[in-house]
Structure 1
Amino acid sequence: MDHREFIDRISADPIITAAKSDEGLEKSFKADSEAVFILYGEVATIPGIVKKIKEHNKIAMVHIDLINGLSSKTAAVDFIRRYTDADGIITTKVPLMQYARKLGLNTVLRYFVLDSIALDNIKKQSQPGMVQSDIIEILPGVILPSVIKQIDEISRVPIMAGGLIRTKDEVLSALNGGAVAISTTNEKVWFL
């Protein structure tokens, strides 16, 4: 799947399921979400998890930082590319995102927006000439809409919000602030 199709599919159904267990994964298949963010697993199980997601015709994105047995080195990205059918990776590490882009994987770069330093880092990464992720995900997702709007203005790629989103109002607040989607492990939100 090319990068434009990835962004279009994410934007088409803005509530992204994020599974942190096998039970959550099974429930995610019943949601309308176009994508599943994989937030659990280990080297031995991740190919099977991705295969289940692909059998349900959903986008499979592996949060590479959370998979047991994978390091924070480019070899982890190589593993995902060679031994799974994942559509891409989620990471907090810019070098892994850049390498995944070179391999043709879709990427979500996560930022924890805790203070103005985080905003400065997003601004630096958004400079012309820098390799860009397909989407930036900001956490926590319940951040003020004005901050989401500010990040949207400085980012050269679409943004999504993730983490701590529990209600329809919080989903709408993030989307109205400029996020193209939200990701959540909260199964009640999956079915809004």
Structure 2
Amino acid sequence: MKKNLSDILADSPVIAAVKDEKGLTKALLSECSMIFILYGNICNISDIVEKVDRASKIAIVHADLVNGLSMKEIAVDYIRNNTKAQGIISTKPLLVKRAKELDLIAIQRTFVIDSIAYNNMMKQIKEYEPDAVEILPGVMPSVTADVREAVDLPIIASGLLRSKKDVVAALDAGADAVSTTAEDLWSV
């Protein structure tokens, strides 16, 4: 059974995002309770997630970035059946929908590059009802504030967060959490 995402993010609002083994090793020793896995392939994703699970941290796999998986719903089934991941991130709404059907944490990742992308994100949120939305880049407090006003689900700001000031600005604008590969921010 999946845990309440809002509670998890309230307890630990900085999420370690890892893109290689070196980052994973550091994330496992960090204060972060959740780890976004942004690398791997179908041969090693189970082992990567197992390391996160053994450290009593929550593993969320970015399904779009696992080499060897298709961009079809079966990819989520594979993650569910072959790893201990508690959730997925995807830019693909059908993968988010499938994750919800399988009782995984379902995070919709959206690159908010213009008003068209923003409007598409809002439509997808209404249609697919993810557990959270991850907006990139995370250094846009005014956009984060607009999303906070428009949706009643956890918001994760990600991308280009380089300083404690960026993290604080994102959280102050209404993000529930931030996701960053910047290891020095994992203990903020």
1:120 partner letter: N
Do structure 1's residue 179 and structure 2's residue 178 form an aligned pair? no
Q: How does 1:47-62 map to 2 (within 5 A)?
A: 47-62=46-61
SS at match of 1:76: helix
Contact 1:126–1:156 (CA under 8 A) maintained in structure 2? no
| Equivalent residue, structure 2, for 1:161 | 157
C-alpha root-mean-square deviation of aligned residues, in Å? 1.1
SS at match of 2:160: coil
| Equivalent residue, structure 2, for 1:131 | 128
Moved over 4 A (4+): none
Question: Which consecutive residues of structure 1, in runs of 5 or more, have no partner in the other structure?
Answer: none
SS at match of 1:99: helix
Aligned length: 188
| Equivalent residue, structure 2, for 1:117 | 116
Do structure 1's residue 142 and structure 2's residue 142 form an aligned pair? no
Question: Which consecutive residues of structure 2, in runs of 5 or more, have no partner in the other structure?
Answer: none
SS at match of 1:51: helix
TM-score, structure 1 normalization:
0.94
Aligned residues: percent identity? 45
Q: How does 1:1-192 map to 2 (within 5 A)?
A: 1-3=1-3, 5-127=4-126, 130-143=127-140, 145-192=141-188
2:24 partner letter: L
TM-score, structure 2 normalization:
0.96
What's the CA shift string for 1:16-46, capped at 9, x where partnerless?
0001000100000121111000000000000
Per-residue deviation, 1:84: 0.5
